[in-house]
Amino acid sequence: MILEKITMKDFRQFRGVQNIEFASETENDGKNVTVIFGENGRGKTGLFRAVVFALYGERRLSQDEEAEQKELYLVNSAAMEDTKTNGKPVEAFVELVFRHKDQKYTIKRSLLGVFDKDERIEQVGSVTLFHTNSDGNTLAFNDPDDIRKTINSILDKNVKEYFLFDGEKIQRLTMASIEQRKEVARGIKNLLNVDDLEKAINALQRLRKELNTELSKRATGEYAKIVHQLNQLDEKRNKLKAKLEEIEDEYAHLNVEKRKIDKLLEEYKEIFHLLKERKDAETQLKSEKEQTGNLLSEMRARTAKASQLLISSTIDFVFDSIDQKKQKGEIPSEIRKDLIERILDIDHKCICDRPVLPGTPEHSALIRWKNKVSDVELEDSALEIWRSLSSIRNYREDISGVVETLLQRYAVCRNNIEKLRKKIESINEQIGASERKDAADLEKTRENIEKKQIRIEAERMTTKSEFDSVESEYARLSEQRKILEREENIRNELSQRASLAEDTYKALQEVYKGFTEEIKNRIAIEANKYFVQLLDKEGLETLSKILVNADYSLQILDRWGKPFLANISAGQRQIMSISFIAALAKVASMDSILEMPLFMDTPFGKLSYEHRKNLIKRLPSYCAQWILLATDTEFRKQEASFLREGGRWGKFYVLRSEGPGVTIIQERDIEEAQSLLHENMGETNEYVWRYTG
Amino acid sequence: MKTWGKPMNMSGDIRVKTDKKYKNLYNDLKNLIVGDMHELFFLCACLGYKANKVKDLGSNAEERFWSRTITPEEYACYYAMMLEKNNMDLSSIRDDKLVIAEMEKYANGGMEILLEDFLNEYCSADYKLDSTYSKELPMALLHFIRDKLEQ
């Protein structure tokens, strides 16, 4: 696939109809490089989106993982604003013209943008594909499914990210993860067209199973037993294989989650001390609140006792009065009232038997006594009241003290709570957006993911070991079966067919293994060639070679032959990945240049000056077409000069802002680049001097 | 023939009455500023007695709680109030029904003081508590009692 032209209407920042013609060696002029230059926010990634949208109808890029779907609009915002006044929907489209194997293709995809009240809605519209073959006949396709199949046959959706990529994504190819291994493996298989071989292997596997099932039904004796065991092992092996895949998928999923968290954590790094401070303040606040709750409960429990304080003077007065009566001996009475009443009213004689009759002095004396004393029960009550009041008086001071203390402690707590609330409020203001407030939980989630990964890894090892032992048992029994067939002369048609299927299956697996092994080795050799050419001086001193492992993961060795991947820089990772892609393209095209574009969005951000220089000088000859979306900080006068020197730079476009959300594409002469671009600054100049001088 | 009574009779069989219009208030304030109704009644009685504010329940009387919930200390205080009021005439505390009836009048008067001087900030005209502010009532009540002591 070689891209020739892209036309956009009201797509992302590109208002109205605008187009870009890519340098594509159509006139055999050797010009295959297009530079699209724009400052951040001018629409470079929008252009990248346009290519992906036109080819695959995908609204999202891999870097959009975090973004909310609703936040991503493809229809030009300025055009959408107009619909608010005229009420008509905006039809945006992208049309991409490309050629593949001398045949021309034009794909056009549209989408509609409307406002439903205040909500912005985008709807994917029609898609058409025109295919002009080498005879000049043109076929039109409208069925999305047909179009998808055609485009996938040209550039498989699964490998598109090897050729259409953003700077960050390319670096991920070097991350040693199961996810990456799968991605690389899928990419290699697609590019090398080994799909058919895989299909044949799968078909043979099914046939073998059917034949063995049939055979186990018909066979007898020891032979039947072995066939039955083989069938069982085969089933077990398939289950274990599926389980391994599941485990790897889960592991990969966890990796994605972990990366998302890491990204957020990186973003939240600056606010971590604030989060910790806020957590401490929240803990203190909780404790203060609990304390106020306890204090209020204590206060409630003391309301009744505090109420007693209101009648302190009454309590004192009554206590003193009874106390005085006690002192005087009036309570309890020296003579009980009921005894006097009995002498006066019933017995009419004293306890000494002396008569006490009305009118006598004795009678009058007793009447006087009777009037002085009270009921015995009332006297007892008075004494009981005196004791109770005494007790109340004793702890009165304590009650007053406790009330004061409780009120003071409560005031302190309230004050603390107020201070803590203000502190938390101030921290929240510093932290900013509410979604960032949950960052503190991220560390914990990450820890849990890692724990889960350790568990899954252990499960993977156990399952793998079980799988290996089933494999070896299967091989042993297969051998035994063959011996039995020979010894017992079992040569019926069914057993012969089963044997043949088994042997063909094994042979194909060997072919597959050998082929992919060879390809893997060739990719490694080619990747190393590119790597050496692209790597800077320092890297060459430290790093020795790229390894493509059996599971297609990438590794790099240091000068002492030790694995060094974890220690290399982001820029070195990027160079390593680009080397791998170039090697893959070369191997897939059978040592010529693969007819695929390299469409790179802002790829130089993490590259040192020398890496950048090497890439600019050499990449045009590694690929059939190079489309470079570059920003002002990575593409300056020096980079332009290197590119011009290579003689392959054919087209130069500048993305210019024309008001908010509107970008105009301007084609410029490459000779104009020097006057348009910035100077290389600072230490880079020294580098320029050293390497160009 | 007289029967021998126990000291401080503290009868538990009396239905203590309050004004029926305070029914909700008694229910709301129970557990909020006091543990039980008898404590609120005691507070009101103390307030009424201190201010010498007696208010007859008349036809508005409504039974509120059993006298058996009244603590010995509270009873001792009720008797003290009765004795002081009656010039230490011990016969004034002979009948608990009369003692409680007298305290009901003080508690009724005391509730008016509580409403006027304290609960008015937290309570609507129909004696409903505003729950927004009620959490801190125990603290506010202690402040209120402390202020009353200084008057």
Per-residue pLDDT tens digits for A113-154 = 888 777 788 888 899 999 998 888 899 999 999 999 898 888
Put simply, the answer to whether A300 touches B34 (Cβ < 8 Å) is: yes
**Partners of residue B81 in chain A, C-beta under 8 Å:** 311, 314
**Partners of residue B32 in chain A, C-beta under 8 Å:** 300
**Partners of residue B135 in chain A, C-beta under 8 Å:** 296
Q: How crowded is residue B52: how many other Cβ atoms within 10 Å of its Cβ?
A: 9
Tell me which of A386, A418, A450 is where a domain ends: A418
A438 part of a folded domain: no
B75 to chain A: closest CA residue: A385
- Identify the CATH number of the domain in which residue A18 sits: 3.40.50.300
Put simply, the answer to whether A311 touches B77 (Cβ < 8 Å) is: yes
Tally DSSP H helices, then E strands, for chain B. Answer: 6, 2
The C-alpha atoms of residue A304 and residue B41 are separated, in whole angstroms, by: 9
Say what the pLDDT of residue A168 is. 58
Average pLDDT over residues B25-37: 87
Taking the Cβ of residue A294 and every Cβ of chain B, the question of whether any pair is shorter than 8 Å is answered with: no
Put simply, the answer to whether A385 touches B35 (Cβ < 8 Å) is: no
Phi, psi dihedrals of residue A256, rounded to the nearest 5°: -60, -45
- Residue B4: pLDDT over 50: no
The C-alpha atoms of residue B141 and residue A596 are separated, in whole angstroms, by: 84
Put simply, the answer to whether B88 touches A299 (Cβ < 8 Å) is: no
Which among B4, B90, B145 has the least Cβ separation from residue A307? B145
Put simply, the answer to whether B143 touches A299 (Cβ < 8 Å) is: no
Q: How far is CA A458 from CA A236, A276, A464, in A?
A: 20, 34, 10
Interface of A with B in 316-345 (CB under 8 A): 317-319, 321-322, 338
**Partners of residue B71 in chain A, C-beta under 8 Å:** 304
A567 part of a folded domain: no
Q: Evaluate the omega torsion of the peptide bond into residue A144 and state whether it is cis, within 30 degrees of 0.
A: no
A437 part of a folded domain: no
* Count of alpha carbons within 13 angstroms of residue A90, beta-carbon side: 29
Q: How close is the nearest chain B Cα to the Cα of A438, in Å?
A: 30
Q: Which two tokens stand for residue A184?
A: 């690389």
B30 to chain A: closest CA residue: A300
The C-alpha atoms of residue A218 and residue B80 are separated, in whole angstroms, by: 110
Taking the Cβ of residue A311 and every Cβ of chain B, the question of whether any pair is shorter than 8 Å is answered with: yes
Interface of A with B in 517-536 (CB under 8 A): none
Tell me which of A391, A418, A445 is where a domain ends: A418
Residues 6+ apart with CB under 8 A from A219: A227, A490, A495
The C-alpha atoms of residue B139 and residue A414 are separated, in whole angstroms, by: 11
Say what the pLDDT of residue A48 is. 84
Q: In which band, very low, low, confident or very high, does the pLDDT at B3 lie, cut at 50, 70 and 90?
A: very low
Please, are residues B106 and B43 in contact by the beta-carbon 8 Å criterion? no
A267 part of a folded domain: no
The C-alpha atoms of residue A15 and residue A659 are separated, in whole angstroms, by: 11
Put simply, the answer to whether B148 touches A410 (Cβ < 8 Å) is: no
B147 to chain A: closest CA residue: A310
Which among A299, A309, A381 has the least Cβ separation from residue B93? A381
Q: How close is the nearest chain B Cα to the Cα of A116, in Å?
A: 42
Q: Which two tokens stand for residue A544?
A: 């020795």
Q: How close is the nearest chain B Cα to the Cα of A334, in Å?
A: 17
Which among A300, A308, A378 has the least Cβ separation from residue B33? A300
Query: For chains A and B, what is the number of CB pairs under 8 angstroms?
Result: 139
The C-alpha atoms of residue A322 and residue A320 are separated, in whole angstroms, by: 6
Tally DSSP H helices, then E strands, for chain A. Answer: 22, 14
Which among A384, A404, A410 has the least Cβ separation from residue B139? A410
Say what the pLDDT of residue A693 is. 28
Q: How close is the nearest chain A Cα to the Cα of B120, in Å?
A: 19
| Residues lower than pLDDT 70 in chain A | 26-28, 62-71, 158-159, 161-162, 165-195, 333-335, 372-375, 432-440, 489-491, 550-553, 590-593, 678-693
A264 part of a folded domain: no
As beta bridge partners, residue A657 has A663
Put simply, the answer to whether B80 touches A300 (Cβ < 8 Å) is: no
Say what the pLDDT of residue A682 is. 42
Put simply, the answer to whether A308 touches B73 (Cβ < 8 Å) is: yes
A496 part of a folded domain: no
Put simply, the answer to whether B136 touches A309 (Cβ < 8 Å) is: no
Q: In which band, very low, low, confident or very high, does the pLDDT at B72 lie, cut at 50, 70 and 90?
A: very high
A200 part of a folded domain: no
Which among A297, A310, A318 has the least Cβ separation from residue B46? A310
A304 to chain B: closest CA residue: B39
Tell me which of A418, A435, A458 is where a domain ends: A418
A333 part of a folded domain: yes
**Partners of residue B77 in chain A, C-beta under 8 Å:** 308, 311, 314-315, 392
Average pLDDT over residues B38-59: 95
The C-alpha atoms of residue A214 and residue A503 are separated, in whole angstroms, by: 18
Say what the pLDDT of residue A372 is. 67
Which among B39, B80, B90 has the least Cβ separation from residue A303? B39
Q: How close is the nearest chain A Cα to the Cα of B108, in Å?
A: 15
A318 to chain B: closest CA residue: B80
Please, are residues A7 and A52 in contact by the beta-carbon 8 Å criterion? no
Q: How close is the nearest chain A Cα to the Cα of B18, in Å?
A: 18
The C-alpha atoms of residue A147 and residue A157 are separated, in whole angstroms, by: 12
Taking the Cβ of residue A367 and every Cβ of chain B, the question of whether any pair is shorter than 8 Å is answered with: no
DSSP code for A657: E
Q: pTM to 2 decimals?
A: 0.51
Domain with A644, as residue range(s), is 2-155+596-692
Q: How close is the nearest chain A Cα to the Cα of B128, in Å?
A: 20
Q: How close is the nearest chain A Cα to the Cα of B88, in Å?
A: 7
Put simply, the answer to whether B94 touches A309 (Cβ < 8 Å) is: no
Which among A306, A374, A410 has the least Cβ separation from residue B90? A374
Q: Which two tokens stand for residue A200?
A: 């044949």
Residue listed under structure tokens 């009656």: B86
Best to test chain B binding among A310, A321, A398 (most B CBs inside 10 Å):
A310
**Partners of residue B50 in chain A, C-beta under 8 Å:** 310-311
Q: In which band, very low, low, confident or very high, does the pLDDT at B1 lie, cut at 50, 70 and 90?
A: very low
**Partners of residue B46 in chain A, C-beta under 8 Å:** 307-308, 310-311
Domain count, chain A: 2
Taking the Cβ of residue A380 and every Cβ of chain B, the question of whether any pair is shorter than 8 Å is answered with: yes
Put simply, the answer to whether B143 touches A407 (Cβ < 8 Å) is: yes
Say what the pLDDT of residue A102 is. 84
Put simply, the answer to whether A307 touches B9 (Cβ < 8 Å) is: no
Say what the pLDDT of residue A509 is. 84
Q: Measured in Å, how far apart are chain B's first and last C-alpha atoms?
A: 49
Q: How far is CA A440 from CA A275, A446, A456, in A?
A: 6, 11, 25
Using DSSP's 3-state secondary structure scheme, residue A263 falls into: helix
Q: How far is CA A143 from CA A93, A127, A149, in A?
A: 17, 8, 10
Q: How close is the nearest chain A Cα to the Cα of B34, in Å?
A: 5
Say what the pLDDT of residue B79 is. 95
Please, are residues A534 and A594 in contact by the beta-carbon 8 Å criterion? no
Q: Which two tokens stand for residue A365?
A: 């004396």
Taking the Cβ of residue A90 and every Cβ of chain B, the question of whether any pair is shorter than 8 Å is answered with: no
**Partners of residue A312 in chain B, C-beta under 8 Å:** 149
